[in-house]
């Protein structure tokens, strides 16, 4: 049986409307799907959560021109797709049991076992943190259960549709992919040139997988890390104080201060609360000064302060791992799962597109970049006759 994630769309707590309230709130919608609104409040909440994720993980993305528009278009597209699937599940009369809803709620509650303040497991506080998250989004448990019911209905619908259309992954498929990846890893130019000519998309896929494998199998070192931040707006005397503090910390460690205790006492790395200052470095990825020291320092040794563009670092080498060779047997299962997921995603995209083509979708949301896109399209249209 084909298995897909129980909750296809991201776990963002979205507002669900009653039919009686729809007419009143139509004016605040960003789109309609067969007459049903996609609410502006729903769109805003989802977009805000996506932006928060980028702020934490990849803030440079938000610095790009029209970044909010780019993310907003993707959010709107996903919300429309979600509504199309909800309606398709309704039409198919998918049955969802109460026990399945309870199971879904309990699964989501497990994500709240970790106390974000302490970074430790706190199963007893999971319910409280879960309910606080609902309250923050303006949801009651009853309304959230309605959302979970719809999500489960969509999952069941998709399992039926995918079972009908997806061809199971065979070993020959996984071996064929491995051969392409191996050609990239070994830089087999003859094979790569032929593949580029035959199917550039498959070449790009193999290159991406090979790059990931290189990271996973590369020489690695586990370090303890004490970080003192230096920002671009700091005055020279402030930077000197940081450097002096780094020198003092190293002297204290040399004098007997436990490295883990020094991390707790001095580091300015916000993630140290959960990691204890430990991190894995892959050779060639970290800034050169840190990379050089981490991979030459003996296990158990502590470095002198290392200066980088973002501050001062003191590291302790805790463990080293040599570069590993990789065989087909090592990753056969992973490749099979990857191919299966790719087929699931393609089948889902095709199914949603078929729903979209039959639906009456009206987008009312406007973006700042709309005018720019219109101008670019007009310019391209004017340039077309000139090429002919």
Task: Determine the Cα–Cα distance for residues 69 and 367; give it in Å rounded to an integer.
Answer: 6
Instruction: Give the start-end residues of each E strand in the chain.
Output: 29-33, 36-39, 114-115, 120-121, 220-229, 278-282, 306-308, 311-321, 361-363
The DSSP line for 323-367 is -----HHHHHHHHHHHHHHHHHHHHHHHHHHHHHHHS-EEE----
Residue carrying structure tokens 């104080």: 241
As its CATH architecture, domain 1-166 has Orthogonal Bundle (1.10)
CA distances from 181 to 33, 178, 210 (A): 42, 5, 6
Over the chain, what is the mean pLDDT? Answer: 87
The residue ranking higher by pLDDT, 361 or 122, is 361
Task: Determine the Cα–Cα distance for residues 160 and 140; give it in Å rounded to an integer.
Answer: 31
Residue 388's pLDDT is 55
Segment (H or E) for 148: helix 141-165
CATH number of this structure's domain 220-321, picked from the four choices 3.40.449.10, 3.40.50.300, 3.40.350.10, 3.10.50.40: 3.10.50.40
Average pLDDT over residues 34-55: 91
pLDDT tens figures, 318-374 = 999 998 888 999 999 999 999 999 999 999 999 999 999 999 999 999 998 888 877
Task: Determine the Cα–Cα distance for residues 267 and 182; give it in Å rounded to an integer.
Answer: 42
Residue 375's pLDDT is 76
Indicate if the pLDDT at residue 188 is higher than 90.
yes
Residue 380's pLDDT is 74
Q: What is the pTM of this model?
A: 0.65
In 3-state terms, what secondary structure has residue 241? helix
Q: Are 223 and 303 in contact (CB under 8 A)?
A: no
Q: Are 43 and 75 in contact (CB under 8 A)?
A: yes
Residue 352's pLDDT is 95
Tokens representing 363? 């987008």
Least confident of 85-99, 131-145, 177-191, 233-247: 131-145
């Amino acid at each position: 049986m084909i298995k897909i994630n129980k909750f296809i769309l991201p776990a963002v707590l979205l507002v669900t409307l009653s039919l009686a309230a729809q007419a009143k709130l139509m004016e605040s919608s960003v789109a309609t799907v067969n007459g049903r609104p996609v609410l502006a409040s729903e769109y805003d909440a989802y977009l805000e959560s996506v932006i928060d994720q980028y702020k934490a993980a990849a803030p440079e993305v938000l610095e790009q021109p029209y970044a909010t528009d780019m993310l907003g278009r993707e959010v709107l597209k996903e919300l429309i797709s979600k509504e199309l699937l909800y309606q398709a599940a309704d039409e198919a009369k998918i049955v969802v049991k109460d026990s399945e809803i309870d199971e879904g709620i309990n699964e989501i509650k497990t994500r709240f076992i970790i106390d974000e303040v302490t970074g430790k497991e706190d199963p007893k506080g999971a319910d409280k943190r879960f309910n606080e998250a609902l309250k923050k989004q303006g949801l009651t448990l009853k309304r959230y259960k309605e959302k979970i019911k719809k999500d489960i209905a969509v999952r069941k619908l998709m399992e039926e549709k995918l079972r009908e259309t997806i061809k199971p992954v065979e070993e020959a498929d996984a071996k064929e992919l491995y051969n392409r990846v191996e050609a990239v890893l070994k830089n087999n130019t003859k094979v790569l040139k032929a593949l580029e000519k035959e199917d550039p998309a498959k070449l790009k896929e193999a290159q991406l997988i090979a790059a990931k494998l290189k990271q996973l199998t590369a020489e690695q070192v586990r370090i303890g890390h004490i970080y003192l931040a230096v920002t671009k707006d700091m005055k020279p005397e402030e930077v000197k104080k940081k450097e002096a503090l780094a020198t003092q910390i190293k002297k204290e460690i040399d004098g007997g201060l436990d490295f883990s205790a020094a991390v707790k006492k001095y580091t300015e790395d916000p993630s140290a609360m959960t990691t204890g200052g430990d991190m894995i470095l892959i050779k060639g990825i970290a800034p050169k000064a840190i990379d050089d020291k981490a991979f030459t320092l003996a296990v158990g040794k502590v470095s002198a302060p290392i200066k980088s563009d973002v501050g001062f670092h003191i590291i302790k080498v805790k463990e080293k791992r040599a570069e590993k060779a990789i065989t087909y047997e090592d990753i056969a299962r992973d490749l099979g799962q990857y191919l299966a997921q790719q087929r699931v995603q393609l089948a889902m995209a095709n199914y949603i597109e078929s729903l979209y083509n039959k639906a009456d979708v009206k987008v009312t949301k406007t973006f700042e970049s709309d005018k720019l896109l219109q101008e670019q399209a007009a310019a391209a249209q004017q340039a077309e006759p000139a090429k002919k």
